[in-house]
Amino acid sequence: MRYPRYTPLALSALWALLLPLSLAAQTAMAAYPDAQIDAARRTAVVRAVERVQPAVVSVHVYHREAVVYRYRDPFRELFFPFSPYRYYRGEQDKMSGGSGLVVSADGHVLTNGHVIGDARRLRRIEVSLTDGRALPAAFKAADPLTDLAVLQLDAPDLPVAPLGRSGDILVGEWAIAIGNPFDLGPTVSIGVVSAVDRDFQEPQGDYYYRDMIQTDAAINPGNSGGPLVNALGEVIGVNSFIYTGGDYSYGSIGIGFAIPIDAARRFLSEVRVHGRVRQPWSGIAQLRDLTQRLVDYLELDSTDGALVVQVAVESPAYVADLQRGDVIVQINDEVVRSVDEAWGILRSLAVGSTCHLEVVRMGERRRVSFELQEQPRWF
């Protein structure tokens, strides 16, 4: 076999043609692993954070509080070194912080009620966005029962977070907490949804929490009011409080709770329509826990339930024939085991909703239904 002969000039031309192709191939092969790594880094969590974090804000609240100052006159101390201190009252500004979430293009910011504190002592509220803007905010409304509050910003081009639905939450799915813990600035932590529908029979601080989302994502002081987000980048809850041990002296131990976003939607709708949160009123004025002695006297099966002690005249419950001595065992098909649980369910209902009570009266079960009204000013 005869092989073709190439002149040096032909070989040079061939090498000049193949060299760029070879370099391009090497560059593509070198870039291919980098592209794979970059794609692997951009996980669903990263995309979810990019979608929501621009709408998360840091909230700084300034209150005016009373203080007591201690004073000793230096001139008097020269002659009377053991003279007692004098005390006088004064006032000073105190700053507290938390997180919030822009939920509408017209500047509504959702946060926790306890982040705002006593609205009567408010001096000013400042909100910091992730784009570096620091804006004044006006307090608009709060709900003392659900621990939610809304602020108002007056600024253009506000990013808005997408809100999900509480009914779509899956136990075990990713949960991302975004906020401003310890006033460090925008911070992200991740865990899973540990449980849903957590109810607390006793108030946590000043609030009754129901249907809470439990998560092990790190939540610390300052995260309150910030969003809990799923892997789709949808807000599913408002981070509110944590368990930190017996005396609450530690940070996060992986047990945090968020108000479900459906409850926040109802709160925001109430504020938009009425400009405030109307408090529901059933007319049930006083309830009492059952003791074993009462169980024996009323011929009941257990101490579960709440004994009706007083019903306001001409109230919804009174008109529906709820009577003193009735024992409430269910409210809207939810079992009632104690007075705190009964109040918690009743306070979670909205004005205009129907309340169905299952009661025991003289050994017989009865159903009492009525529509909740707005609480009268005199009540």
Other beta carbons less than 10 A from residue 47's beta carbon:
13
- 374 torsion bin: left (phi>0), alpha (psi -120 to 50), beta (else): beta
What span, in angstroms and rounded, lies between the C-alpha atoms of 202 and 344?
Answer: 8
How, if at all, do strands 354-361 and 364-371 pair? antiparallel
Side chain identity at residue 289, one-letter code? D
What span, in angstroms and rounded, lies between the C-alpha atoms of 228 and 184?
Answer: 18
Which entry of 99, 108, 143, 147 is annotated as an active-site residue? 147
Tally: H helices and E strands in the chain: 8, 20
Which entry of 189, 224, 252, 315 is annotated as an active-site residue? 224
For residues 207 and 255, the answer to whether their CB atoms sit within 8 Å is: no
What span, in angstroms and rounded, lies between the C-alpha atoms of 201 and 348?
Answer: 13
Which entry of 114, 194, 252, 315 is annotated as an active-site residue? 114
What span, in angstroms and rounded, lies between the C-alpha atoms of 214 and 103?
Answer: 22
Active site residue 340: no
| Closest C-alpha among 99, 108, 104 to residue 130 | 99
Active site residue 114: yes
User: Measured at the alpha carbon of residue 121, what is the angle toward residues 242 and 100, in degrees to the nearest 5?
Assistant: 40
What span, in angstroms and rounded, lies between the C-alpha atoms of 19 and 86?
Answer: 91
Catalytically active residues are 114, 147, 224
